């Protein structure tokens, strides 16, 4: 059997990351919508709560399915948390900018924010967290 090229390995890894991201997004967006529509919360704190819920799903699934990391949990966990914290700050900043400064609707703002944070997270986890 032929070994996969680095491009194909990276493509497969990103596809797994994307699939895990979909599961994390269901947790994130589900809580966001529940809190905004059902609880009357402002979108910024609601999305931050959703980000944390999605982050928990993301850690478990990415460690196992995307990066197949053998790095001990005690080391990977704090690295994951550091990357997630930067993503949390990016989420806060972008959602605040889109919904408060610009006055845009929260769901399209969240879609854009998700894309930016997803690219950050993939690269940071690949290079540093689970390497």
DSSP readout, 109-122? HHHHHHHHHHHHHH
The pLDDT assigned to 56 comes to: 93
In a domain, 24, yes or no: yes
In a domain, 115, yes or no: yes
Number of Cβ atoms within 10 Å of the Cβ of 9: 11
The pLDDT assigned to 28 comes to: 97
Backbone angles phi, psi at 76, to 5 degrees: -65, -35
Q: Which pLDDT tens digit goes with each residue over 74-113?
A: 888 899 899 999 999 999 999 999 999 999 999 999 999 9
Domain that holds residue 60: 10-129
Q: pTM for the complete prediction?
A: 0.82
In a domain, 3, yes or no: no
In a domain, 5, yes or no: no
In a domain, 23, yes or no: yes
In a domain, 4, yes or no: no
Q: Which pLDDT tens digit goes with each residue over 44-80?
A: 999 999 999 999 998 889 888 887 777 788 888 899 8
Give the chain's domain count.
Answer: 1
């Amino acid at each position: 059997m032929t070994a996969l090229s680095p491009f194909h390995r990276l493509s497969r890894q990103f596809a797994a990351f994307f699939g895990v991201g979909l599961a994390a997004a269901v947790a994130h967006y589900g809580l966001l919508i529940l809190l905004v529509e059902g609880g009357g919360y402002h979108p910024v704190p609601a999305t931050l709560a959703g980000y944390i819920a999605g982050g928990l799903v993301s850690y478990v699934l990415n460690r196992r399915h995307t990066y197949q990391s053998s790095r001990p949990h005690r080391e990977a966990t704090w690295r994951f948390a550091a990357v997630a914290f930067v993503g949390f700050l990016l989420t806060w900043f972008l959602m605040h900018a889109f919904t408060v400064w610009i006055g845009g609707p929260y769901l399209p703002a969240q879609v854009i924010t998700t894309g930016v944070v997803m690219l950050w997270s993939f690269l940071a986890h690949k290079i540093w967290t689970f390497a």
